[in-house]
Each structure stands twice: as C-alpha cells, then as structure tokens.
Structure 1
Amino acid sequence: MGIESDHLVYEYLSQVGDLAQRRHLSSGDRMRLVAGLRDEIDRRRAKYEPETPAAVRRILERIGTPEEVLDTLPAAADVSPPSAPSAPSVPVQRGVAAPHLAGVDEAGAGETLEPDWWTVGPGSSVEGFAGGIEIPELLKGPGAGAGAQSQSQSQPQAPAEAAPEGPPTLMGYLRERRRRAKAEAAAAAAAPVAAAVAAAAVKRKPYAFLMLAGVALIAGAVSGYWLLLAAGWLLAYASRVLGPAERKWVVFGLPGVVFAGAVVWLWGRLNGRWGAPLADEALSGTFQNLLPWLARAAAVSSAAYLFWRSRRR
C-alpha cells in the first residue's frame, strides 16, 4: 500500500513541476514549490495511522489541483517582466596580474603561448596550462623564516587542539596516509592472532554428544546392561559430528574386529595351535561363555575411539 501512495504523490508533484515550467517559473522557484508541497503532504500523511491510497487522494484533493496551486502564487512569478535594454557599459579595468597568476586571456593570443620547439625539451610543458606554481615558502623573504621561528620560540606553545586548522599540505597528507597504512597493517597482523586464539579455544572444547555416547558404552560394559550398549552405539551412529565412514567404523567396524579376533582364537584352540585343543562338543559352550566379554570389549573399543574423536577437530 505504501508504494501506491508514494506513486500518487510523485505523480502529483511531477504534474505541478511540469505546469510550473510551462508557466515560465525559474528553476529555484520550482524547486521551492515542489519541496514545500512535499513537506506539506508528508506532514498530513503522518496524521493517518493506517495510511491508504484513499487517504493520500483526500490529502491531494484538499491541497488542490496543480492549476489551483499555481494560481495561488503571485502574478509576478508567472510571467517574467521584459528586460530593459541595457546601456553600453565600460568593462572594469584591471591591473596587470603577476605572471604566475595570469590566465590564458591575459597571456595573449593562443599562438604566442607556445615557444619555439627547439627551445623546449620533450615533456617539459603541459598543453592548456599558462603561468606558474605559487609556493608560499619561496615568496617569503630570507629573514621571514628566522623571525617567525624566534617569535614561535619566545611565545608559549598552545595545545594541539587550540591550533587553527590550515589548508592540508602534501606532507600532512603523506603523514596521514602513512599513519593509516600502519594502523591497517597492525590490525591485519592482529586479526590472524585473534582468529588463532579463538580457533584454539574452540578446538579445546570436546563434542558433548560423542562424550555422552562413550559414557553410555562404558556404563553398559561395566554393568553388563545390554540396553546401555545399544543406546551408546545408536547415539554414535546418530551423531552429526562423525562422517558416514566413521559412524560405520564405530558401530560395525570395531565390534567386527573384536569378534573376528575371537573367531581366530577359537580356530586356534580347535587346531591346538595355542593351549590345549578344544573338543567339538565344547566349542558351543566356550563361545557362549565368551560372548558377554566380547560385547564388553567391543563397547570399550568403540568408547575409546569416541573419546579420542571428541577431542579432535
């Protein structure tokens, strides 16, 4: 709704400006007229809490059409009076200016400004430039610098804040530019240090979710409660910190390695490679007795990996 209201106001002001231009108002009068109308419209629009295009139309109707607004202006502003014929006037006589302040019109005709080509070295002149460069220090007499220096030494120095600001000089600009460059270099050098400190602080903070999964696995391994073991592996698999390969390694890889080691150990016992050989009928009972300890070993290995991974970024 605000865009439509602004469009109505801009269209009204453009009509007023076009009509004022057709009635030969000066640019300054047109600018003041349009600015005054805009301020009046904004002041009246502020009184309407829910501003609507209908409210803006009512405001414009109360102000009047562009013709009515221009008719209220003084008649002198509509038509500019004819200018009286000007009498011939004598131009103001000026004295001869210094060579370094002389313009192109005072230096003579354009063809006399260019010296002979054999008397000027290459690149020593600038086209369209006449006169010289005024350096205030060179215009002072030889005793002016010493007198000013002795006078400044005899008078007490005022604080830097009270000194009047003169026009900027080249040396002051160069000093200010060098100071800004040093400040930017110092800020750029301090930024990596601050970033490294912040990164180190973040790096030292472990992942709480991985720590929770590891604690659940350790508690399940100590108590022998299967639900705690399952909850620990589920938390590790649901973690967003670990990648897909790391999740599979924690939940399936490490327990698989533990159980594979147990199978290798049973195979060696059956073949008598280490310890007394096992009978075939004793294999099932040995595996059942070994199964709880295998689950605990798998849980401890997964928890150790989670603790290590929680400290690593």
Structure 2
Amino acid sequence: ARSLAKKMTVLYSLAKGQLSKQHHYDFGLRALKSVLVMAGQLKRDTPQFSEDLVLMRALRDMNMPKFIYEDVPLFRGLLQDLFPGANIKRVVNRQLKSAVVSQLDEEGFRHDDRPTFNKQVDKVMQLYETMRTRHSTMVVGPTAGGKSLIIETLAKAQSSEKGFGVKTSLFPMNAKALTLPELYGVMDPVTRDWTDGLISKTFRELNKPLAPGVEEARYIVFDGDVDALWIEDMNSVMDDNKTLTLPNGERIRLEDHCKLLFEVGDLQFASPATVSRCGMVFVDPKDLRHRPYYFRWMMMR
C-alpha cells in the first residue's frame, strides 16, 4: 500500500508539472479520493487482478476523460513509467455500450469513420463512469464537440430496453439567463413571504422520494457559462454534504437518484473550489473532426 500511495502522489505531481495548464484540470485531494473510490469498486468487481493493475486502471479511467487531445499521450507515458508492464484493456459495461451504439445508429449518427465513431461512443461511456463516482459532473469543451449529443445519448441509452431500462430524464436550464433571486428564490423583507426560484423549485420537485420499487434517474443540466456569481451557492450541493441551502434557511438534500450536469465551454471564470468538486469530461472537437458532420449532412439530404 505504501509503494502504491507513493506512485499515486508522484503521478499527480508529475502530471501537474508536465501537462498543459487548463482551467478544468484538478490534481488535488478530491481527485485522489475519487480515484480511490473507483479503485475500491474495481477491486470488488474484479478480485482476480492485483492491486497494481487495479490502481493503474482507476488512475487511467478517472483521469483520461478530462485531458485535452495533446495531453493524452503525455499522461499515458507517465503511467507506463510508473507502472511498467502493467497494460490492461479498458473494460466497460457491455450492455450499456451496445445500447449507446444502437441509439446513435437509430438517430443517424453512425458514420464510416470507425475510429472517430468509437471515440464518440467511448466519451459516452466515460461520462457514465465519471457519474458513478461523482454526483456533479462537468462536460467541458468548445462548440461543435458533441457535448449535448453525449448527454442525450447516455440518457436515452439508459432508458432503453437494451440498456438498463431505467427511466432517465434531463432537466436543462441556463443559469446565466436569470438573476440570482430568480434562480435561488427571494424573501420579501416586509411580509417575509418566500418566493421560489427556478433552481429551488426544481430541486424540491426532483428530490422527492421515489415510489417503492421504482428505479429512475434525474439529471439537472446547467447548459451555459459557469462563473463564481451563481455557482458558489451550489458548492454545498457539489461536495459531500449534497445539500442546497436557500436564503430562507431551508435545506434540500440531493438524493441518490438525482445528479447535476454542467455543459460548459470553458471554466476560466470558475473558482478552483468549484472545479475540484466536480468530475470532468472534456469533449475535444479535434477527436471528432469534420467527417461526422459531412456524413450526417449527406444522410439527411
């Protein structure tokens, strides 16, 4: 355990020093904790693998989704240096992957560039795996990278019979289109009457207990820029407290069937405290390129 802990801390310090500086990168304690949580899950699922392999796989699968195109080979090199000879194939949920492929096929998003299509399917799987260990996840990347498609495909694949058959609903909103009182609610200073905001109303409705025997997933999608003006009030929800505290003192707990998704172009205005609380999936248009757009345009004509 001591040698593995040293390898883990060395990897993170090297990654912090050698990889490019990005606003959505975080190599702090929360990132370490999420890797350990995933390693624990993998060890229980695959007890036949050694602890070296399990930790290497957890480090790879938890960190690769957030790296930009240029940093992926650098991180792979660091992993190979610290875990020489430890090479294990990426293992994903085959049932969900099959449902994702079928869903993209049905909607006309399959194209003849097979490596690019496989990357897009893998991004959906990366989002699913990140959301298993984090209840708040940010899908980051420039326009035309396929962020919306990945989120919608995951929701539809989980809902389908080929997937898990778990009804998955998306509740999108743009927080930057509203003022803070319209988002979180406001209390009249004279009458002391409380008026709900969009976030407080949505949270209360979605976090009501599910009926016995009912399986359902509800994702609140914040589609728009993230900045300290409105996101700081969500910090208590995004950390381990999982509780939204409103200006009137009411506390609403985030239940296990409800998760937060942020669809954002970049995080240059987000504080490090916010970035460290979320799982990250970076969607790079360099992985997608022009071929899928051209092929879909041809198919739709």
Instruction: Give the TM-score range, shorter chain.
Output: under 0.3
Flag the structure with more relative contact order, 1 or 2, with Cα contacts below 8 A and sequence separation at least 6.
2
**Bigger Cα Rg:** 1
* TM-score computed with the length of structure 2 as normaliser: 0.16
Q: Which has the higher strand share?
A: 2
